[in-house]
Structure 1
Amino acid sequence: MLATDYFSGFLLGLSLIFAIGSQNAFVLKQGLRREHVFLICLFCAVSDALLISAGVAGFGAVTARYPHVVDMAKIAGSLFLFGYGLLSLYTSITFSHALSADGQAVTSLKKALLLCFGFTWLNPHVYLDTLVLVGMVSTGAGSKLLFASGAVSASFFFFFALGYGARLLTPLFAKPKAWNILDALVGVLMLYLAWHLYQS
């Protein structure tokens, strides 16, 4: 179903982007300080959109020429998502962490965007998540356009929610238990997506 493709893309994008990292901490800090929040969130979301589109389109071009790659991608994607899901569930019950957004003070838009560029484009994990993983999972979708749209929508939703909701989220996620719950939810979503990709 086409609606399933959109929501699968949305859930995958949201699950991947939830990971605690320097980019999210930076967006959170900008939101707390109310400095260039809109442009920072827009930069992060547009960057994700470009990478996701490239991943889906590029993988599509490869599979058109080498059809057997689709089956290999489905297996590899399912195993990766399954492993990622189990790791998230394991983290949710064994680790205790709280988010820290401490870092260098930002006073100008230029400086903020340069830091944001580094957090986004110099992070090797972003290429694995968008170009490789999202590209692989998209091979199981009936509509790659809807799948990509769902993943892109998740990026826009998350970054703007994090940036503008920072003052509400920070007291909650200062508590380690909140991150444990979040890790558990991410784990469940990843396991569902692994099953969905395998079934397709």
Structure 2
Amino acid sequence: MMKRSIFIVITTIILLISIAFPTTVLAASMPTTTITSVKSQSKAFTVKWKKKSGITGYQIQYSTNSKFKKGNKSIKIKNAKTISKKITKLKVAKKYYVRIRTYKGKKYSKWSKVKSIKTPKESKCTKDNIQKETHCTNNNNHSIKCGNMGRWFNSKDEVDAYWDKVDISYFEQYQNGIITFEEYHKKSPYGYECWSCSYCGKWTGNFKYN
């Protein structure tokens, strides 16, 4: 009788602990994903990965510690169709380590291999680095297109967003089998340089390719 009472007490304690302190379940059957590219930007980086099915989404973890022992930050991607994420508000000239895993409910896959990236020292488009263009008039009438981007933007942020859009477009073509991985790296710009018009204040720039 006493042994049975002790067993009931121990079982109850274990049950209460499991409810109070839920743990992450690592499932061997969960599909793992891999990081395909990481590109640095001013105080940011964009990470891309392979799309997986039969999951809820992805968890990205990044840190300045290569072993992920401290200072870790995590982001949950709740759409399984998402294949890229821009991480912002980072420090300049800092090396970051990033990894990713899939999840479904409380089940998580193993982490992917760690990729590293270093943010640039400073933006390529600071006020001290503006190139004055002479082909624009005060009435905002551009006589020729400037930069291989082929268009003008209202701000530097729009230039950065356009680069992201072009890069993601080529990456999705690769994911959908329209172009090869080699074609993606050849066609997708790895960075850009930009400048503003000294008259109208609009921005344009050049994509950079491998």
- Greater strand share, structure number: 2
Scaled by the length of structure 1, what TM-score is found?
0.31
- Greater helix share, structure number: 1
Higher RCO (C-alpha under 8 Å, 6+ residues apart): 1
- Answer with 1 or 2: which has the greater Rg: 2
Scaled by the length of structure 2, what TM-score is found?
0.30
